[in-house]
Amino acid sequence: MTKRIILFASGNGSNVENICNFFEQNPSVSIVGVFTNNPKAGVIERAKQFNVEVHVFNKKDFTKGYLLEKVVKIKPKLIILAGFLWRIGEDWVKAFPKQIINIHPALLPKYGGKGMYGEHVHHAVKANKESETGITIHYVNENYDEGAIVFQKKVVLTENNSVAQIAAKVHELEYRYFPEIIAQLLEEVPNEV
Ligand code: GAR
């Protein structure tokens, strides 16, 4: 039985591309949609390369339940936030308990919360002269970056690492581990869900 997954992203989409690559040769997992709130997002072209259907939605679709209705019909095993910047509402968390995961580019609970995304996180890490950073993959609840942690991986920083170098180190971890963790979680989700 094929396990359907969908991906949400707001920007560049390099993680989405990496996940699509990872599962391309895996007949038991099917990426049935990429959803974005940003009609100019790089993720749109990246997803199209894999012939994955792209859905662009607006705030109203998202907050009034129209999009949720559409996604419920797809019956995805997992909803994966890969660089998606809007807060997920309680209606989504209730409809998909323990089926929505997010990747965050830092070691939560550090550097999480509203406004802490992408480059902003790396700038803050640099400003605080942290000796390490990393990635966190976690279940999503109604608060930004607060759901139960599934996986974390650290990387060492040196004092002279630039923001761009910190970002590159974090992206490397994301590409290496995110698809594998998704695959592991898919093993755990019961088939009847
Ligand atoms: C990734 O580093 C991801 O961890 C981060 O956005 C980046 C998206 O890059 N997500 C967040 O900051 C969520 N709070 P990508 O579009 O190239 O995959």
**Would 86 be classed as within a structural domain?**
yes
In a domain? residue 8: yes
Ligand 1 atom 17, closest CA: 14
Atom index in ligand 1 nearest the CA of residue 42 equals 16
Q: Closest ligand 1 atom to the C-alpha of 120?
A: 12
- Residue 192 banded pLDDT, cuts 50, 70, 90: low
Residues 6+ apart with CB under 8 A from 141: 88, 93, 147
Instruction: Give pTM, 2 decimals.
Output: 0.96
Does the structure show a pLDDT above 50 at 3? yes
pLDDT attached to residue 74:
97
pLDDT band at 89 (very low <50, low <70, confident <90, very high): very high
1 alpha carbon to ligand 1 midpoint, in Å?
A: 30
DSSP-assigned letters across all residues of 85-144: -SPPPHHHHHHSTT-EEEEESS-TTTT-STT--HHHHHHHHHHTT-SEEEEEEEE--SST
pLDDT > 50? residue 55: yes
Q: How many structural domains is the chain composed of? A: 1
On whether the CB atoms of residues 126 and 161 are closer than 8 A, the answer is yes
Beta strands 78-81 and 149-156: pairing type?
A: unpaired
* Radius of gyration over every alpha carbon of the chain, rounded to an integer in angstroms: 16
Label residue 81 by pLDDT band (50, 70, 90): very high
Task: Please report, for the domain that includes residue 94, its CATH number.
Answer: 3.40.50.170
Report yes or no on 102 lying in a domain: yes
Q: 193 falls in which pLDDT band (50, 70, 90)?
A: very low
Which residue is closest in CA terms to ligand 1's atom 7? Answer: 83
Question: Quick check: 83 and 13 in contact, CB under 8 A?
Answer: yes
Domain that holds residue 59: 3-188
Q: Decide: 137 in ligand 1 pocket, CB within 6 A.
A: no
- The angle that helices 163-188 and 14-24 make with each other, rounded to 10 degrees, is 40
What's the 118 CA to ligand 1 centre distance in angstroms?
Answer: 5
Whether 193 is in a domain gets the answer no
Distances (CA, A) of 47 to 19, 50, 182: 10, 6, 18
Residue 103 located in a structural domain: yes
**C-beta separation of 147 from 138 below 8 A:** yes
What's the pLDDT score for residue 125? 98
